Every structure is written in structure tokens, then in C-alpha cells.
Amino acid sequence: MTSALHEDRLRAIIAAVVQSGARTLLDLGCGDGDLILRLAPLPRINRITGLDIHMPSLTALQAELHRLTEDSRAKISLAHASMTRAHPKLRGYDCACLVETIEHLPLGDLPRLENALFGDMRPETVLITTPNADFNPILGVPAHRFRHPGHHFEWGRAKFAKWAQGIAARRGYAVSLSDIGGAHPHLGGASQMAQFRRD
């Protein structure tokens, strides 16, 4: 059972994937495959690679693929690997999605993620969502805590925008930012998304 916020994130990502016109897709940090299971049946999508460093999640996802038709399953491949390392086989995809994954990386790994994703893989479109720390008081999260014990950081909108705009400037992408999961007049949404498009 997924939360309403998680469903909002998935709907936002899927809408952005469809709008991008992508046919081939990377799901980096795919976890149990909620996004993959929703995207694989779309006729326009013809190849999806899910990558995660957590083997139990990939095993759980593999077991869930039976829910899909044979044609949808044939589009999917899974890889046990880190998103912060370059993988030549992951070059040339139309779109990469990172749904609530960057905050699970140590801050020191973010430059490696940038090099691998924007420097080596270089998909046409990159979609990244992450919690919006500005919204944490609405959720009752104390200032000294994160939403999840596995998070290494949580950024407010200004810090996320600065990070995303820096990558866009350095790597030859345009970027736009949007709220997910509500739109408080001062605090934004519970999550936030950066949509990168290669220039």
C-alpha cells in the first residue's frame, strides 16, 4: 500500500515522462519498482532499465513482474549497481528518473552522481524528486530530524534549486522546478521535482 504523497510523486513523474516523449528509460534507485510497474505497460515505452544497490529490493521487484503482461516484462531489465558510478551500457537513454533517491546518498556522493548521470549517461531528460524540507513543519517533523532514518539530508526549495541550477549550468541542461504533494502558499509542496532537459 503506497501513501497519497507517493502516488502524487508517481503521477507527476509519469506525466513528465510522457510529456518528454521518452521511449527508453532509466529508473535509478528503482527500489521495489513502483514506477517501473506503472511505466512498462505504456505503449510508447519500449525499454526500461531499473538500477539499485539494494539487492533485496531488486529481488522483490523481480517477483512482482508477474503482474505484467509478457510484452511489458520483455521491456524491463534490472541491474544491481550504484548510480554514482559510470556504466557504459547506461548511455543513450531518453530519460532517467530518480524518485526520492538523492537524499539517501551521503552529500559527498552527489558530485559522483553528477559525473555519472550528467557527465557519462547524459540522457535527454532527467527527472529528480526529493523531499521539500520547507514543508516538514506541516508534517510535524522536528527541525533536528529528517522524515526517514535513511536520509542523509533534506533540502528546502532554495537549496534544491541552487543545486539543480548549478548542474544545469555546468552540464549543458535547462532545468525547471515544481512542487509535488500540495502547494502551500509559503512552503511549497511536500516533495519537489527538478526536470532537466539537455540543451
List the domain boundaries for the chain.
4-31+86-198
Among 91, 113, 86, 89, smallest CA distance to 101 is for: 113
Q: 28 and 83 in contact (C-beta within 8 Å)?
A: yes
**Residue 12, SS3?**
helix
Residue 55 phi/psi, 5-degree rounding, is -60, -40
| CATH superfamily name and code, 4-31+86-198 | Vaccinia Virus protein VP39 (3.40.50.150)
Q: How many CB atoms lie within 10 A of CB 184?
A: 15
The per-residue pLDDT string of the chain (199 residues; one tens digit each, 9 = 90 and over) reads 368 888 999 999 999 999 999 999 999 999 999 999 999 999 999 999 999 999 999 999 999 999 999 999 999 999 999 999 999 999 999 999 999 999 999 999 999 999 999 999 999 999 999 999 999 999 999 888 999 999 999 999 999 999 999 999 999 999 999 999 887 888 999 999 999 999 8
Grid cell in block for residue 3: 501513501
Grid cell in block for residue 46: 519500449
Q: How far apart are CA 136 and CA 61, in angstroms?
A: 30
Residue 2: predicted pLDDT: 61
Among 107, 151, 163, 154, smallest CA distance to 132 is for: 154
Q: How far apart are CA 56 and CA 131, in angstroms?
A: 24
